[in-house]
Structure 1
Amino acid sequence: MKFLNKKTLLAIAMSLSFVGLSQSQAQNHKRKIDGVVGVVGKYVILDSDIDKTLLELKAQKIPVGSLSRCELFEKLLEDKLFAHQALQDSLDVPDAEVNSFMTDQINGMVEQVGSMESILAFYNKKNEEEFREYFFEIVKQNKLTQNMQKHIVDKVTITPEEVRQFYKAIPEGELPTIGDEVEIAEIVVRPEVSKEQKQKVIDRLNEMRTDVLDNGASFFSKAVLFTDDKGSATNGGFYSINKRSPFVKEFKEVAFSMAEGEISKPFETEFGFHIIYLEKIRGQNLDLRHILLVPKPTDEALEEAKKKIESIREKIVNGEISFADAAAASSDDKETKQNGGILKHPMTMDPRFELNNMDDRELYQLVANLNEGEVSQPALKYDYRKQEKTYRIVTVNKKYPAHTMDFAEDYMKIKNLALNKKQGEELQKWVAKKIKDAYINIQGEFRECEFRNNWLKK
């Protein structure tokens, strides 16, 4: 089960389609050979891909300035080189992972635009099966590119002195402006799921298990029909994992204790209750299928959670307890409760959020008009990753007005910018080196481009 912000899913998917379009079309390049402008390994770039990439960047309101077709073309060449080398270095992506990620994206797209029919019309596909086949290749190439890039930059680190030198190198008149920011803290109350609700889920999983073991029923079909893990539903609950795979501890402990062909008894994780069918053991890898059922709280339990968080808010507002102490004592969010409920950006770990760039628009609506120290009214929160409803209150610990970037005040941002620059330089060194060994063919007007790298191998 993968989390993606539903507000950006469609834009991401559309961007993937344009950046990765040529991979799916590579299979049919004989029919469209007149449109081929570049080849890297087995990957083909069509002239139309460049125009579509530019249109998509504009649609996402990404500044393109005077970005030329040559620069866009070189970016596509780089993406194809990363994907090509990932295959050479055995950094392949399991089909199950691609399908899971793709299904999450498609579900988000359907939620955003309203129906699968609208998506099919946009992509000019006859049916969902044709669209999935097309989209699979796009997602896979993008995943390969990401895997290769991550492999290259994983060991890149940066020192405080490098951060300082990076900041000093920016001319004073070119220091960027940081928009209005806020530090936010949150208290979450999760409605209690009764023992009866949990037992219903356990009993249902046991019934499925028995039906498969005693009556020869299809585990695959039951996963397709009943699992609450929508990311794996279309593949019959399939995952291929090893001990380094990003699955919760409880799931891996059960999976790696099983014998091939065995079906586990129901067990609980933070996501709900599971049963696992271990299909095959391949060295350090397990091919398995699972069914997840999430016990749902009753309406009465939801109402009790709301009353509880209203009571917490009242005590904070009346000065009986601080927000941070209330979070430590009462919040059900394990990740933030011991830190005063303070939220951090998942990528940068920066506790400051720029108001106008917040992805979570529901959170934005809660904090946009709050003053420092004010506490929001309780709001219902839905976690798409865990498929659960909770109630939350938030407060603004501190507001930071728009200002010119400052080394002391904005150190984390400067550090991330410096690290990104260093990682980018490492990627460019890698590209320059790998071009020498890869099969690359550039045709037509693009042979006249002034590239950063020696794609023409002159």
Structure 2
Amino acid sequence: MQTLPRLAALALLAFAVAFPTRAQVAPGTVLDGIAAVVGDEIVLHSEATALAQQASQGQPVTNELWSRALDELVRQRVLVIHAERDTTIIIGEEMVQQQLDAQVGQMAAQAGGEEALEAYYRKTMDEIKETFRQDVRKQLLAERLRGTRMRDVSVTPGEVRAWLEQIPPAERPEVPEIVRVAHIVKVPAATPEVKQAARDFASALRDSVLAEQATLADLARRHSDDPGSGSRGGLIEDIELRLLVPEFAAVAGSIALEEVSQVFESPFGYHFLRVSEREAGKVTFQHILISVEMGADAADIARQELMVLRDSVVNHGVPFEAIARRHSQDPLSAARGGYVSDPRTGDRDIRLEALGGQWKATVDTLSVGDVSEPATVRLLDNAGTQAVHIVLLQKKTPPHALSVETDYALLSQYALNDKRREVFDQWVRRLQRDVYVDIRSPRYTAESATES
């Protein structure tokens, strides 16, 4: 029986399904078989197992967790069936191809590179993509259908207050310092000479490691510009390849274990690395990052330009938002008048500590309404772009107990998420009445083999 996932919602789990980790699979567990039939589609036991293993985060899979995974897969099939019936939902080929490229690319990273993925499937990358094309289309149809239903779900102030009142006052967490900020950004271009100097320095450090003149860990502690790993000797443990930027994942996912890589470039700068463990889409490695510093001349020019813009705001009354729209080089905030929001949630109120040390050093010098002097910063984009900015502090809320008065936006998001889950569950249950569903294997045990 085919053991690979049939639905693109599980495409990222294809490698885990095909190669189950022995430590995660209990003796006597059924690795495949028909767990459920939904319409004319089947849900494989291996699909539910893979999804449950992912959700368990390395802990043993329980019957309850496996059953929830199976329920989720059944719901996905139900959504697909109804989405295919809805003639108003149209998914273009360009969108399918874009999603297909992204998912197969992540599968390749988890498998250890494109060659490893091709070897497993015994197909070329183009043929692998064709294998998943219809599944990707189904996934996008289901997501579009769900989006149209959830779009109109909202919460009232009363519902937000009721959500908080479910939590006893003594158990409500303390909210750390929250700020609302805007900024105007200039991004000085790194000169070719500066980029070459960074690459040369990284190459020299690599040569020292290869010649055994110093250890990678020692050099990382002294020279790496990665604040998250430098103090730990460049060590990053058990991280999913899909969470790394593509340039980094390509090297970490394909290099031989214990081999020191060539120097390569990512949006963060120049790296080299050594992988010690790689299994089930996760990798442990040491690396050194040498970031590309903006040239001193370009940075000085950026600071001078920002001082002129700051003077227009502080001394001549020009609205900060208007200048940000015209002059800021941060694409995430410029169109909104410089308003900074959490890139994951879109919230304007952001934990100060989450912004990082450079932001904190600047904001700590300001009172509400102040505009800072020019300061260096890493932008909140995926590349951590180095820039110079001036900051307007619009609001500051000190650490406090969670309350509707001070944290309405945060609470409304929590309440909305819960309400959406409830509405979605009820909606899918109604949809399911019009679809044939037969649960064949309800438990994560060997006995389910006889039920298949």
Q: Give the TM-score range, shorter chain.
A: 0.5 to 0.7
Q: Distance in 1 between matches of 2:60 and 2:184?
A: 37
Aligned equivalent of 2:206: none
Q: Which amino acid aligns with 1:311?
A: Q
| Contact 1:38 1:45 (8 Å CA) reproduced | yes
Aligned equivalent of 1:152: 149
SS in 2 for 1:185: strand
Task: Report matched runs for 1:27-42 at 5 Å.
Answer: 35-42=33-40
Aligned equivalent of 2:262: none
1:120 aligns with 2:117: yes
Gaps of 5+ in 2: 1-7, 18-29, 190-294, 367-371, 446-452
From 14, 18, 23, the equivalent of 2:13 is: 18
Q: Distance in 1 between matches of 2:434 and 2:12?
A: 28
Tell me the TM-score normalized by structure 2: 0.54
From 383, 393, 401, the equivalent of 2:389 is: 393
Aligned equivalent of 1:49: 47
- Cα 1:411–1:180 change in 2 (3 A) is same
| Contact 2:62 2:444 (8 Å CA) reproduced | no
Shift of 1:407: 0.9
SS in 2 for 1:45: strand
- Cα 1:66–1:319 change in 2 (3 A) is farther
- Cα 1:128–1:370 change in 2 (3 A) is farther
Shift of 1:392: 4.7
| Greater alpha carbon shift after TM alignment, 96-105 vs 173-182 | 173-182
Q: Which amino acid aligns with 2:68?
A: E
Q: Distance in 2 between matches of 1:63 and 1:147?
A: 34
Task: Report matched runs for 1:244-283 at 5 Å.
Answer: none
- Cα 1:396–1:173 change in 2 (3 A) is farther
Q: Distance in 2 between matches of 1:62 and 1:344?
A: 35
Shift of 1:120: 2.4
Aligned equivalent of 1:86: 83
Aligned equivalent of 1:310: 303
Aligned equivalent of 1:367: 359
Aligned equivalent of 1:413: 410
SS in 2 for 1:410: helix
Q: Deviations over 1:48-73 (max 9, x none)?
A: 112211232345x9999995211121
| Contact 2:184 2:389 (8 Å CA) reproduced | yes
Q: Distance in 2 between matches of 1:119 and 1:396?
A: 50
Aligned equivalent of 1:130: 127
Shift of 1:337: 4.7
Q: Deviations over 1:369-400 (max 9, x none)?
A: 5442366744586978xx9x894526483565
- Cα 1:348–1:424 change in 2 (3 A) is same
Gaps of 5+ in 1: 1-12, 23-31, 193-301, 449-458
SS in 1 for 2:154: coil
Q: Distance in 2 between matches of 1:436 and 1:306?
A: 63
From 100, 103, 106, the equivalent of 1:102 is: 100
- Cα 1:188–1:405 change in 2 (3 A) is same
Aligned equivalent of 2:322: 328
How many residues are matched? 312
Q: Which amino acid aligns with 2:411?
A: I
Aligned equivalent of 1:217: none
Q: Deviations over 1:398-435 (max 9, x none)?
A: 56555432111110111122222222222122122122
Q: Which amino acid aligns with 2:433?
A: K
Q: Which amino acid aligns with 1:53?
A: L
Q: Pairwise CA RMSD of aligned residues?
A: 5.0
Aligned equivalent of 1:270: none
SS in 2 for 1:87: helix
Q: Distance in 1 between matches of 2:116 and 2:392?
A: 39
Aligned equivalent of 2:290: none
Shift of 1:170: 3.0
| Contact 2:177 2:399 (8 Å CA) reproduced | yes
Task: Report matched runs for 1:373-384 at 5 Å.
Answer: 373=366, 377-378=375-376
- Cα 1:64–1:92 change in 2 (3 A) is farther
Q: Distance in 1 between matches of 2:310 and 2:106?
A: 37
